[in-house]
Structure formats: structure tokens, C-alpha cells
Amino acid sequence: MKDFQYPDDIYTEAETDPNTLANLGPLARLAGVWEGKRGVDINPKAEGPEKDPYIERYEAHPTDGQTNGPQLYYGLRYHAHIVQPGEVETFHDQVGYWLWEPETGNILLTGSIPRGQAFIAVGNAPADAKEFTVKAVRGSLTNGIISNPFLERSFTTESFEMTVKFHDDGTWSYDQTTTMIIPNYDAPFEHRDRNRLTKIGEPTLNPTAAAEQGGE
């Protein structure tokens, strides 16, 4: 994550462009509706690691530019919904935001899952990057991981790392590792997930972009 000296005036807001899709840097290639049928999940069980296949639907739609005084983010609101082949029951569900700060090239991934856990992972990349990595670490106040009491005690999440790659055929893939401390495991366990996603739909425009387009 790149440091940046913001102005002393922390209240005057930066100007935003209604066209979020044109200001997302490397995140622009994530916008849309995606499907991945080759997911692999390596997760912990009492008897040892288990490998499970999964199918994923991933939606990422632009939001209006957001300011923290002089700081400006353009982002995507995402929803990842995962099932196992032939099943309807949710295997994993996650919502959050991808955020791009044009001034610094910083990337933020926020995430929350319905098991009582949330995180902010951060990274940095140029606007034309074909690959980038974001990381979160337990205990950090800026790129941390928060868990409910049971998970904190029984499946202590020490770190999260996700690498995204964009491919020439228009698909994108991710490989992520969640490192956990589990009482009956002798060493930290690396819970790994990876998938490659193909676009099946276009993103919905953010409100100000849609309004501007409708007024033309």
C-alpha cells in the first residue's frame, strides 16, 4: 500500500467523475456478472485437509465515487455466491467492495461473510496491471481481520492473501490463501481457494452515470 501526503484541509471533498467505470484502474476488468465452474477449495476437517470443487457466481457493479474529504475512491460492489456441483445449498457467500484510489494506485478489498467475519485487504498496482495482490493481517488497524468469538478461538485467522490475474481471453482468476491456527493442527493451516471466471453479463451502471446517460 502506497503512502500519500494528503492536504492539511481534511474537510474539502475531492471532485468525482460520474463515470465510475472509466476510473477504476485495474478493477475495471472485474466489472460485470461472472461464472466460474472450476473452483477448488482446500479446507480443514478434523481428520485433515479436504478438497472440494465449487461453482461460483460473481457480480461486481460500479458505485458512485466516494470521498473522505480529499481522499477519493472509485469502486465495485460485489457479491460472490458459491455452491457445490449439483447442490443448491450455499457453500460460501461473501459481499463487499473493491476500491481503487487513482491518486495512489492503492486497492482495497472489503469482505464480510455470514459466519461472523469481516476484513479489509490492501494492495497497490498501476492502472494497467494484469495482476495484483491484496493482503489482510489479524491485529492490523488498517488492513485487518475481525472474527466472532468462536472463530477467533477455534479457527484463528492470522492472514488473508488474494492474487487476481487477468487473462487475454477476457476471463480472470484468483488464488487466495487464508492462514489459520487450529487447535488440533500442528502447524498453521493454509485454507486455499482458486477459480477462473467467465463473463456472462454486463455491469449495472452506477446511479450518477446512469442519470447522465439518461439525460443525453
Q: Is residue 9 part of a domain?
A: no
* C-alpha grid cell, residue 100: 481503487
Contact 147, 137 (CB under 8 A): no
Does residue 194 sit within a domain?
yes
Other Cβ atoms within 10 Å of 64 Cβ, number: 15
Count of domains for the chain: 1
Would 12 be classed as within a structural domain? no
Question: Do the domain assignments include residue 67?
Answer: yes
DSSP string of 157-204, one letter each residue: EEEEEEEEEE-TTS-EEEEEEEEEE-TT-SS-EEEEEEEEEEEEEPPP
Q: How many angstroms separate the CA atoms of 66 and 100, rounded? A: 10
Question: Which triple of cell numbers denotes residue 149?
Answer: 468469538
Say if 214 falls within a structural domain: no
DSSP 8-state secondary structure symbol assigned to residue 151: H
Domain carrying residue 186: 20-204
Could you give the CA distance from residue 29 to residue 166 in angstroms, rounded to a whole number?
A: 8
Q: Do residues 38 and 52 make contact, with C-beta atoms less than 8 angstroms apart? A: no
Is 115 part of any domain?
A: yes
How sure is the predictor about 216, in pLDDT bands with cuts at 50, 70 and 90? low
Query: Nearest-CA neighbor of 32 among 64, 63, 59?
Result: 59
Q: How many residues does the chain have?
A: 216
Strand 117-124 with 145-147, pairing = antiparallel
For 57-76, the pLDDT digits (tens) are: 999 999 999 999 999 999 99
Average confidence (pLDDT) over 193-197: 98
**Among all chains, which residue has been given the C-alpha cell 474537510?**
11
Q: What is the pTM of this model?
A: 0.94
pLDDT at 51 over 60: yes
CATH of the domain at 173: 2.40.128.20
In this predicted structure, what is the pLDDT of residue 215?
56
User: What would the pLDDT profile of 96-110 be if each residue is shown by its tens digit?
Assistant: 999 999 999 999 999
In a domain, residue 8? The reply is no
- Percent of the chain at pLDDT > 70 equals 99
Q: Looking at residue 213, what is its pLDDT?
A: 85
Supply the mean pLDDT for the chain.
95
Strand 172-181 to strand 156-166: parallel, antiparallel, or no bridges (unpaired)?
antiparallel
Residue 24: inside a domain, yes or no? Answer: yes
